[in-house]
Chains A and B, each alone.
Chain A
Amino acid sequence: MSVMEKVRPTASRPRTDAREPRVTDENGRRVRVGELVLRYLLLLAVLALTVGPFVWQLSTSLKGPTEDIFSSPPKFLPGDPTLHNYERVADTIPVWDYALNSLKVAAANVATNCVGSALAGYALARLRYRGRRAATLAFVLAMLVPVEGIIIAQFTTMRELGLNNTLIGVVLPGCVSALNVLLMRNAFLNLPYEIEEAAYVDGANVWQRFLRIAVPSVKGTLAVVAIFAFMGAWDDFLWPLIVLSDPSKFTLTIGLNYLHGTFANDERLVAAGTIIAVAPLIALFACLQRYFFRGVGEGAVKG
């Protein structure tokens, strides 16, 4: 078996190079044309299923008031594309204020999660003190608590603090997530200890070691934390729905739910609103895919 493997790729390579370039898989083996066609057909079908709904929403949001959006068979492209619906959303609900609120919440969530989980992760991974095991256990337990089960108690806690119906109240419960702390802990644990030891011998104190050596070495994980903190805050629904009651404080997701409930019959309007909410994240994803995928792997292993 192992002989075959070693021989086959080397034997076939010169031949492929001589002819027209062929499609090969990750092992350098040729993919048959029939299989290739089938694969692309399936890929396109799944593409239509996963991305199609977003495109349809975009198309609906660009259709003018006179265009029939209910036609059968459906019309996939707007006959006369217009941004009119986006202006109308802003006239109906303060959508840009909501977007700003979402941005504030998301930015704060990124900052607190990066700083808080880097600090705590470092304390769990590198520093020696009595109670470290207890602290680690606290974060592990916190990660296992299903948030959906404690929202009412979180809400009453927020009321007691006088922070319900504020953006701070939206941010606080998730502002240093236990999962992120444990991700950072693992990242620090994976660093070779020798570098820090050398710095220690050179007289660097704990803050210098943390800021100059440890943090710069875990930038990748920190980026994952930042992206998932942003996405989590921007997309969150249940918690802001419970903690916010004043329409002027709504985040985008709550505003959209409100728009849908109040103006359910105006599909063009709701479509424009959803596009406003989803476009920034799709742009972010397009730029930083690598970290999104990496985050899935790290989060799943822990979760």
Chain B
Amino acid sequence: MAMSTASRVRRQLPTSPWLFAAPGLLIIGAFILYPFVSTLVNAFTDRRTLIPGRFVGLANFRELLQDDMFWVGLRNSTLYVVGVVPALVVLPLLLALLVQKNIPGITFFRSAFYTPVVASIVVVGLIWVWLLDERGLVNSLLETIGVGRVGFLSDQWLLLLSAMAVTVWKGLGYYMIIYLAALANVPRELHEAAAVDGAGAIRRFLTVTVPAVRSTMVLVGALSSVAAFKVFSEVYLMAGPSGGPAGEDTTLVMLVQRTGTGLTGRVGYASAISVVVFVVTVALMLLVLRADRRDES
């Protein structure tokens, strides 16, 4: 009986399991894995959109080192990580603590805080372009209280800072939900013991909450740093396609998009920039995970 079942299984299965997996494998093969490999290959060619490329060795990478725009992009994408990640690791945790207690109406607040996550980045970008406009709401308020108007969207550095603020604003709710799940697992006894020992709210936060959600903080740090380095839409929308004054707000992915698309797109060169994006992304992940391990020991 058992034998016959087993042999039936063996006879029947070779075709159908692959039928199940085929659509998914086909799509990720053709549109994720193949493009990934071809990006790696193209990086060593001078391929253009309409012209098949020749192998050029490291020429693209040598050109990168001479390209001022590449260094601008690398600088801005790196600054983005430095500016955004600490805020996205800490602020959503505080927000999660604020909405953790089940007081009346709290589910409304939780949902409301999540709204920016649901909105398209284009909507979010345009909302903030209008809010931070020379004559927009923020400047109206600043003028009303006597500070005067600030050129959030005309100064190179203020533009980058504003874009970072928008990224943080949009990400708050998302990471808040992640932290809420982690906080639910913090044993209440720890807080009580600390309270009995006379620890105040801040002491308890630092000695009980933070250690308990530390692995979640690492996760959030890894997720947000990878996302921050690949920033495109916020800066594209707020600074414009050319990347702000003299292109000084261009990020790496904006540079990829600008050099690689269109009929004259330099596919090879854009692929070389993409390879840099891969390498830094992987390095960031490893860095965060390593910092995590060192903390633990």
Which B residues lie at the A interface, using CB under 8 A? 9, 12-14, 16-18, 20-21, 23-25, 27-36, 38-39, 42, 49, 95, 98-99, 101-104, 106, 109, 111-116, 118-123, 126-131, 133, 135-137, 139-141, 143-144, 169, 172-174, 177-178, 181, 188-189, 192-193, 196, 219, 223, 226, 230, 232-233, 237, 240-241, 253, 256-257, 260-261, 265, 267, 270-271, 274-275, 277-278, 281
Contact = CB atoms under 8 A, between A and B. Distances in A.
A234 interface: yes
Nearest to A184: B24
B73 to A, nearest CB: 12
A142 B141 contact: no
Contacts of B241: 261
Interface in A1-41: 1-2, 4-5, 23, 25-27, 31, 36, 39-40
Interface residues of A, number: 106
Contacts of B34: 153, 157
A281 B31 CA distance: 27
Given A231-B118, A297-B177, A5 B192 contact: yes
A50 B113 contact: yes
Contacts of B233: 237-238
B95 to A, nearest CB: 7
Interface stretch (A78-86, A89-97, A125-133, A216-224): A125-133
Given A148-B230, A256-B123, A278-B123, A25 B271 contact: no
A225 interface: no
A155 B261 contact: yes
Contact of B20 (A123, A156, A205, A274): A123
Nearest to B104: A23
Interface string A263-280: 000010011011001100
B135 to A, nearest CB: 4
Interface in A210-248: 210, 231, 234-238, 241-242
Nearest to A75: B140
Interface in A145-165: 145-157, 159
Given A54-B115, A129-B18, A149 B181 contact: no
Q: Which 10 pairs from chain A and chain B are nearest by CB?
A: A120-B24, A153-B35, A235-B120, A152-B260, A123-B20, A123-B21, A173-B31, A127-B17, A142-B28, A72-B140
Contact of B129 (A26, A129, A238, A260): A260
